[in-house]
A and B are shown apart, each in its own frame.
Chain A
Amino acid sequence: MEIKIKLNGKLIKEDVDAGTLLIDWLRAHKCFSVKRGCETSNCGLCTVFVNDKPVLSCSVLVARANGCSVTTLEGLQKEAEEFGAYIANEGAEQCGFCNPGFMMNAIAMFRENPDPTDDEIRAYLAGNLCRCSGYEGQLRGIKKYLQYKKGE
C-alpha cells in the first residue's frame, strides 16, 4: 500500500508492505535512534512522536501513521542536546541504549507538563526502562533541566 508520512519534517511517499511496523520502517529510513528492546511494548526504547504524541513504534503499523507527521530524536536534535546535556552531566546516560526513547518521552512530558512533581516525573516515565542507571541520576538531570528552563 502507498503511504504518505512527514518524517522529521520531510514528506515521504512510499509503497510499503501492510504488515510493516513503524519501528522497522523508521530504521530502514536511517532513523537509527529508534531502538528495539523487547517485543512486548514494555521497554519504551522505541518511543517516537506521531502527530506530536509519544507512541511505541514497535506497536504501531507504519500504515497507521499514514498521513501523519512522525518525529524521531533525529528530528529533535536541538532539544536533545539541550536537555541531554543535563542527563550527561549526571553520568546518567550510562550505556545510552534506552536514551532515545527516554529523551522522546521526557520531551513529551515537558511539553505536556512543564512543571511536574517528582512523582509525576516517575509516573510519566515509568514505561521507559533503564537497566543501568537506577533512574535516580535521570531524575536529578530532569530536575536541574526544569530549574534551568524556569530561569530562562
Chain B
Amino acid sequence: MAEFKTITKPVMKKDAMQLVTGKPVYTDDIINQDCLIVKLLRSPHASAIIESIDTKIAQKVPGIEAIYTYKDVPQVRFSNAGQTFPEASPYDHQILDQRVRYVGEPVAIIAGESEAACLKAMKLIKVKYQVLEPVFDMHTAKDNPILVHPEENWRTLSYDFYKSDNKRNLVSHEEDSHGDLEKAFAECDEIVEHTYHCKANQQAMMETFRTYCEIDTYGRLHVISSTQIIYHVRRIVSNALQIPKSKVRVTKPRIGGGFGAKQTSISEVYPAFVTWMTKKPSKIIFTRKECQIAGSPRHEMEMKIRVGATKDGHIKAIDLYVLSNSGAYGDHGPTTVGLAGHKSIPLYTGGMEAHRFTADVVYTNIQSAGAFRGYGAPQGIFALESAVNELAAKLNIDPIKIREMNMLKEGMHMDAYFHEDATACALDRCMEKAKEMFDWDNKPDCVDLGNGKVRSKGVAMAMQGSCISNLDVGSATVRLTEDGGYLLVIGAADMGTGCDTVLSQILAECMDCDVDDVEVMSADTDFSPYDSGSYASSTTYITGMATYKAGMKLKEQILKISALKLNKPIEELTMESKEVVAPDGQSISLVDIATASMCFNDIPTTVTETHTSPVSPPPYMVGMVEIELDKETGEVEVKDYVGVVDCGTVMNENLARVQTEGGIVQGIGMALMENVTYTKKGAIFEESLMNYKIPTRLDMGVLRTAFESSYEESGPYGAKSIGELVIDTPCPAINHAIYNAIGKFLYEVPFTPEKIVMAQDE
C-alpha cells in the first residue's frame, strides 16, 4: 500500500487544545447572553386535542415577552428529519399543533427575560385537553382505527419508495429479496427462528439540544445551533416559519456530541419563531429531562428472523421482518429500518442463495425516534448475529468457523446490498486478527470461577455503509492563503469526531504540505459550500473526496499562475511542497504565487469541488468479548473487548481508535443497561441520567482495538467509514457470551440482571 505523509498519522485535532482548556466555543458560550429565554410548555397526555388554551394571565408575568400557541404558528406541515430533498420522512410536524401526540410534546412557546419568568408564566397557562385514547402498542398500530395523524394536511414526498400512509398509521413499508427463499429454506437442515427486540436508546450526548437566534444586519434570521446539518436546518426552519430559505442563515459552532441526535431539528424552530416574530435575540437550552422525553432516540425495533443452514454449516437463506416504532412523528422512520436489513444480511453473502427483507414502520403515541449511530443496523445485526450464534450452537459448529465459511469476501456481489460489489473487504482478516488478539481458540467457552461467577466469551461481526449512495453531496472550498498555506471551508459538521482535522489531513496529503498549513472553517450556510451534513458515516468518504478534488483543482490554478510568472509552459512545471519548480531549476514559492494572485490576476485561487457517490462501500468489524456473569444476581461485567475494524485506509490512527472505543462503549451501554420504559400513560420513566444509565469508566473493562485495512478505490486515499459501524457488535457478542455462561440466548436488549436470572430459571 502507498506510503502517506499526513493521513494515517495520529495528528492532534485542530481544535483539541481549545477544547481541553475549556475555551468558550459552544453555542451557549458564544452568543449574546442578554437574549430572550425560550421555554416550552409540554403536554402531560400522550394523545389529546387542545380544547382551549388561555395565556392571558401568563402574559402578565413581569418579563414575559410573548407566548405562542398553535393558533399563532403557520398551519403547515414539515419534517424535522435532516435528510436530502425530497425527504423520505413524512411532512407531519407543525411548530405547535392543536393535537398533541406524545407526553412531552410542546403546547406553548414562552419567551421572557429570564428563565424564572418563563417558568412562572408556564404555570399560569390554562389548557383544557380533550384526552383521547392513545396507540402505544406497535404491534397493533398499523391499520388501527385510532390514528396518530388523522389530519388532512399530512403529506409525504416519497410515497413511491415508502408507501407512507397516515390513514394506516404507516410511516413506511419496504420489501427487498433475491432468490427462491422457500426452496433455499427447504434445503436447510437447521433453521433458527426467533423474534428479537431492541428498545429505544437515548442519545445522551453531553451537550443538550440548544439553539440561539438573532436578526442580522440585513434583517435575516441567523440561527446558531448545535447541529450536524446546517443546510437541512435552514430548509426546515424555512418550511416551518414559511419564510424564504434565503432569509435564514445557519451557523454551527463546536457541538457537544451528536451521534445522530442533531441530525434532526429538535430545538431550532422554537427560538427561530420567537426571534422572527419579536425581532429580538432568543435562545432555548433543553434540559436533560427534555432531551430524554422529547429528543431523538433510537427506533425501538422488533426483528422476526429466520436463518437456515445445512448440517455442515452452509447458510443458505435469511428471512427478516422488522417492525419499527417511529413514535409520534416519522423522523428518519422510513430510512432507519432499511439498515436493519441492508446492513446485516449481506454479511453472509458467502453462500446465501436467497433472502427476504420486509419492514413496517408505524406511528404510535410515544416520543418520536430519530437518527442514532448505527441507524437501524445495530438492531438488525443484533438479531442476525444472535441467530447465527444460535445456529452454530445447534449445529455444533464453532461460531468462528461458521462465519468463516459463509462471510462476505472481497470481490463478491452483494444481492442484499443494493447489488453492489464488495470492492474492498477485509472482514476475513478482521476475524483472523481478532481471533489472534483475543486468543479465541485457547479460551474455553465458559469457565466457572468458583465464586458464583462464570467467565465466558462471545463473538459478532458487523458492517455499515460509507454514505447514502446516489444521494449524499459533500463539497469543499479550498483557498490559497497569503502565507502559502490553505483555508479549507466545509459544510460538514465536526461533532467531536474530528472531521475538521481528517479533512485537513486529506488536503495536506494532496498538497504535500503540513497539516498545520491548513486552516479549516465550518460550518455556516452563508459561507460553506453545500454539504448534506455529517451523518451516515459519510464525511470522510464523501466530503473527503470533495476535499481531494478541490485540492487537485487548486493545484492546477497554482500552476497556471506559476506558468505566467515563470514564463514557462504549464506542462513543464511541477508543484512541490512549498513551491512550483521548472526543469531548469527556476522556482516560485507559494507565498509569491499567493501574493501575485492579488495583483492584476484573473485566475481564481479559491476553488470549490463537489462529490457524490453511486455506491456506499461498507466498512466491516469483528467484535469479541469476555464477560464475567454472576449467576445469582445476573450481573454481567465486561472484562475484555477486542474490536478489529476494516474502515479502509485509517485516516487518523488516534481518531479511528477513539471512534472504535467510543462506539464499543455505547454498544455496551445498549447491551447491558440503557433502557427506556413507559408509564401506563405513556410517559418515559428514565427522564434523567440518574435512572437512564449510560456506561461510566467502571462499566467497560479493557478495550483492545486493531485495524485490518482494505483499500477502497472510490474513497479518498482508500478510505471508507468508521463512525457508526463500531456500535454494532456489542449486543450480539455479549448475548453470545451470556449464552456461553448460562446456556440460554436472550432475545431483548438490554440484557438486564433480571432477564438473565429469569432466563436461567426458565
Contact = CB atoms under 8 A, between A and B. Distances in A.
Interface stretch (A49-57, A59-67, A92-100, A108-116): A92-100
B19 A90 contact: no
A150 interface: no
A10 interface: no
Given A81-B17, A97-B207, A91 B498 contact: yes
B53 interface: no
A147 interface: no
B444 interface: no
A132 interface: yes
11 contacts: A35-B256, A38-B688, A43-B689, A80-B22, A91-B13, A96-B16, A97-B207, A99-B22, A131-B203, A134-B663, A135-B697
A37 B664 contact: no
Contacts of A125: 697
A134 B26 CA distance: 22
Interface in B195-232: 203-208
A96 B696 contact: no
Contacts of B660: 134
A91 B24 CA distance: 19
Interface string B645-667: 00000001011011011111110
B526 to A, nearest CB: 24
A28 B660 CA distance: 37
A130 to B, nearest CB: 7
Q: Which of B18, B496, B666, B694 has the most CB of A within 10 A?
A: B496
Nearest to B497: A94
B700 interface: yes
A74 B697 contact: no
A28 B665 CA distance: 35
B703 interface: yes
A63 to B, nearest CB: 17
Nearest to A123: B698
Q: Is the interface of B mostly helix, strand, loop or mixed?
A: loop
Q: Which of A95, A129, A135 has the most CB of B within 10 A?
A: A95
A136 B666 CA distance: 13
B697 A96 contact: no
Given A81-B21, A88-B17, A91-B498, A131 B12 contact: no
Contacts of B17: 81, 84-85, 88
A132 B694 contact: no
Nearest to A81: B21
Interface in A103-152: 103, 122-123, 125-139
Given A32-B29, A134-B665, A85 B495 contact: no
A87 interface: yes
Interface in A20-43: 28, 30, 32-33, 35, 37-40, 42-43
A5 interface: no
A103 B206 contact: no
A127 B28 CA distance: 23
Given A39-B288, A84-B21, A134-B663, A90 B654 contact: yes
Interface string B253-275: 01111110000000000000000
Nearest to B692: A42
B731 to A, nearest CB: 16
Given A42-B690, A91-B12, A95-B206, A100 B22 contact: yes
B499 to A, nearest CB: 12
Contact of B689 (A35, A40, A74): A40
B257 A137 contact: no
A95 B658 contact: no
Contact of A88 (B12, B203, B205): B12
B688 A40 contact: yes
Given A93-B19, A97-B206, A37 B288 contact: yes
B145 interface: no
Q: Which of A28, A77, A88, A132 has the most CB of B within 10 A?
A: A132
A73 interface: yes
Contacts of A70: none
Interface in B180-207: 203-207
B491 to A, nearest CB: 19
B77 interface: no
Interface size class of A (residues with CB under 8 A): 35 or more
B24 A32 contact: yes
A137 B497 contact: no
Contact of A95 (B23, B495, B652): B495
B2 interface: no
Contacts of A77: 21
B304 interface: no
Contacts of B661: 133-137
Nearest to B496: A95
B209 to A, nearest CB: 13
A38 B257 contact: no
Contacts of A45: 206
Contacts of B755: none
Given A39-B287, A40-B288, A96-B15, A91 B658 contact: yes
A134 B662 contact: yes
Contact of B496 (A30, A85, A96, A137): A96
Contact of B20 (A28, A87, A122, A133): A87
B493 to A, nearest CB: 11
B10 interface: yes
Contacts of B20: 80-81, 83-85, 87-88, 93, 96, 99, 103
Given A134-B663, A137-B661, A74 B259 contact: no
Contacts of B703: 134, 136
B21 A73 contact: yes
A93 B688 contact: no
B204 A93 contact: no
A141 B697 CA distance: 14
B289 interface: yes
B697 A97 contact: no
Contacts of B287: 39
Given A81-B17, A91-B655, A94-B498, 20 more contacts: A38-B288, A40-B288, A42-B690, A84-B20, A89-B10, A89-B12, A91-B498, A91-B658, A92-B658, A94-B497, A95-B258, A96-B18, A97-B26, A97-B496, A99-B19, A122-B698, A129-B689, A130-B206, A133-B662, A134-B663
Nearest to A28: B33
Contacts of A95: 19, 205-207, 254-258, 495-496
B665 A135 contact: yes
Contacts of B655: 91
A74 B662 contact: no
Contact of A129 (B289, B666, B688, B694): B694
A26 to B, nearest CB: 12
Given A88-B16, A95-B257, A132-B257, A137 B207 contact: no
Contacts of A126: 696-698
B88 to A, nearest CB: 27
A29 to B, nearest CB: 11
Nearest first, the 5 A-B pairs at minimum CB distance are A95-B496, A33-B22, A96-B19, A84-B20, A97-B256
Contacts of A131: 203-206, 257, 259, 662, 666, 694
Nearest to B11: A91
A90 B204 CA distance: 23
